[in-house]
Each structure stands twice: as structure tokens, then as C-alpha cells.
A and B are shown apart, each in its own frame.
Chain A
Amino acid sequence: MQEILAILPSSVRSVLTALPSTVLEVLEEIRLRQNQPLEIRYGQQTSYVTPSGQITSHARQGWVFTAEQVVKLLNKVSQHSLYALEEELKRGYITVVGGHRIGIAGKVVLERGEVKGIREVTSFNVRIAREKKGVAQKVMRYLFEKGNLQNTLVISPPMCGKTTLLRDIARSISYGSEWSSSRKVGIVDERSELAGCLLGVPQRDVGPRTDVLDACPKAIGMMMLIRSMSPDVLIVDEVGRPEDGEAVWEAIHAGVSVICSAHGAEVHEVAQRPMLGKLIKHATFTRYIVLSRSNGVGTIQAIYDQNLNPLKKEKVVWSS
């Protein structure tokens, strides 16, 4: 939380620090839009914040984020160096110290039909990343079969704790657990979310035997890591593009286990997607972990094996 407050302009900071601590503790998003009241999302609720740090549902009472604040925030987030954020402005979000992510929107500049960046940024969505250690404990035993790490696909809708789970799996494998001795882990962290690297150094605990390739495109990064760092297991977040699929395929056939994640709510839904569908059909993955929010963030909805037979008895929702 301190990290997030440090990058906000002092005026926003003072409004937020005046919030009740019960709200601050569960704060998930801070939304800042030019000339609009400050909005926060905490727990499962959203509300505006008055200048004195009170929660309100009336937009008119909310503390208004002015154009001047926009410039200040952008200056602070970019460390006065917009040129260093070109890639980030193209993708639409910026990762800051601690692995928190700030989504941005504004006027898009095109160059030959492709997005070159966002100029005149007017909306910010500060997403607070929370590290939860130990969430992988519930799934670790399903990831091994006769001591062999299984290739796993974590399927989850947005905001269900997919990245948190992947990170904890990486950490557990790297440190070693009661199901296996420690192994070399390679993380390709395209969005700097898994390890939350700052200047190449992971800000999150991803384990002592983990090598992170920060901000690298997944497909290229996986191949690079296999060649250079000889990992036992590769961990990547949000695979989806055709080249990612090829890289996963190649990594698995190069004798490296792969644990990755994809957006989706169910296995059969993900199987509709061209690249992932092919991988699922060929039984490339031998474990599927499906997450949901039904019992709060990070509910493990189901775990399946390569033939899509459920492995986990409790909390299994299977529809075909």
C-alpha cells in the first residue's frame, strides 16, 4: 500500500490516507478520471471518496481529480521520463514498484494503422497487487504424478487470483515442497506482473532458484530461457496468441514442464479458442486448474487431468 501511495500526487495521497483503515486494507482499485470524482473499489464494493476521506455514493460529493493532477500523476508514474514508457503506453498499462499495475486510457495515437501510444492520458486505473503466500498449497499435490511435474493450464476469468496462484506455484516449486524437491524455475513475465520486476530484480518472492525474463514477449522468452537457463519448469501468464501455443508445444517437447494460464471460465470454453483448443485436443496439458470467484477471490472451482476427468472431489462443477 505504501508503494502505491508513494507514486500518487500528494493531494490524492492525503485523500486516500484519510480513508478508514478497514477500507484501505481491502482496497483493490483506485480509479482516477480527469474532472471526475475519485472512485475506489474495495472488497466487492465501489464508491466515491469525499475530500475528507469519507465514503459516499454521491458522485457530486466526491473529490475531483483535476487536469493538473493528471500531469502530476503521469510525471510521477513515468519518473519524469515518458520516453521510457513507450512500450507501456502502447499496451495501455504501466507496472510500478511492487508489481502494481496502472491501466491508462486517453487519446490513442496511430502510426500506419497501428497503435503508437496514448497521448493525453485522462483515465487511470490503479490496481493494487496483493501477494498471497501459500495459496498454491491447495493445488500442489495435484501437480505431481509419480514425482513428475505435470504440464498445467490455469483457467480463470479476470480478477480471480490467477496470477497470484501462478506466482505461488513458482515459489513453491523453486523452494521445494513436500511433494517434490526444489527445481529450477524460469518465468517469462511479459507484463511484469508475476515477479513484479523493477530494474530486473523481482519485487515478489518467486523463490531462490527462479530466473525471470522481465517484459519479454512470451513466445520468444520461453525459447530464450530454455536455451540459456535450462529451467526444469517454465511459468508464463496469459498465453493466447498462436506463437505462444507453438512455444508451449516446443518447450514441452524439449523436456521442460510448462505451467501457464489463460483467460476463461471453463475448460470447454477455452477449448473453443483456436490455439488453446489444439493444445487441449492433443492432451498437451495434463492438468487443468479452473478458478472462480464463487467463494471469494481464488476459489478453486475444479482440477482436471488430461482427459478432462475431475481430480478434485470437493467443489467440482462440471458441465459439458
Chain B
Amino acid sequence: MSDSPTPLPSKSRKPFYFNTSEHLLRIGRQKAVTLPELLQALKTCPDDSIFQHTFRTLQEHHFIRQGFSNDFAHWSLSACHEPLLAEQLASVDVREYTTVRGLRDRMIEILDEFLQQHPRTDAHHASEPFYFCAADILVLPTPFVADSLPAFVDGLKHVGVHSIHHHFIEARLRLHLMSNDFSQWLEEEAGLAKTADAIERIDIYTNTMEGVRQQIVRLVEPALN
């Protein structure tokens, strides 16, 4: 799918700087061995722990196509053997949230409801604890800067998958918008609103991050003609 052709300036007014982010994992102070403890920790842990176990999980496991959405869902299944809760937590799409606060509230809501409906699970001990972590993050430039659509596609093809995650998934926490850096630039600098919209609808939970990259390239390439 591509937009109806609009004349592209030979150079965009605002180049697209491909950045990437690198993370150093910090071990947090909280841990949970039961679901009520997880609930309590979800309420009190720092924002960067919520970010780590949801947004960052996708980046750490970017090579897995299915079955891994966030650490809370994974732990609910693998250590607590609660498939219903795991499915509910896994259904939370991080891209529907532009703040960590909103995402945290949704996780708390799901777990709280589950514990009210299944009070006997309170006392069950998980087979292994959930350790809360967080990451110190450094944003780094890459050698790729795009001031035209061909250069943009070239950058997309060559940057690492961490750069794709940075611009496509983490971006909404920076932008506080239901969008991403790629779509924003394509719409504002290249006039490709439909392409931008199509990119935003790519399913990150049934793709590897490499698959996401290839889909973005496939959506943008027709506009080169």
C-alpha cells in the first residue's frame, strides 16, 4: 500500500536521525513470590521497572515471534501456572500507552480483578521469584541520517533492530502520542500520511523486530517510485 503520489522535495526540511538505545540492567530491590506480592510491587516499583518489564521485554526478546509479550505475563504462566491471568496480561499492547503510568494502572487493574475472582491463588508460591529490574539507558547516534526518502529506506535497512525498537516502540513515551518516529517523519516531511498510518498498524506481537523492519521497508518502498 502506498499513498497517492505527492511531489517530494529532493531534500526534506528536517532530516531523520537514526538513533539507537543501549541499556544496562539494574537489579531492583523488590521481588515477588506470590501474585499478591506482585500486585503490591506493581503499585510501588519505580516507573523504569514497569518500562523494563514491558517495553524493554520486547526489545530483549525481539527474535521471538510469538508467546512473549511482557515479563509479568510470562511469569504468571511459567512460575505461577495461571494461564488465564497470563493471557490477560499478555493482551496488553504497550503501544496503546503513551505513559508508563497508564500501563502500570492497566496491569494493576488486571491483576487486582484476577485476585478478587480467584482468591485461593493468594497463597500459591511461584516456582521461582519475580525479580524487579530496571535499565539505565543511553541513546546513541548511528551513522545513518536521512534527508530524502531513498536515504530513509537505506537507513531502515541497515540500522540495528535496537534502533527500530527505539523509533518504533519506545518513541510514544517520548512523543506522548499514539504514533512513532517513522510515521511522524513520513507524514510531516514526506507527506505520506497513509503509509504512516499503515506502519502504525504493524502487529509487533506476532513479528520479530527484524520482521517489523522488513514490513516498514515494504510499506515505504513503493513511494520511492
**Is chain B found bound to chain A in the same assembly?**
no
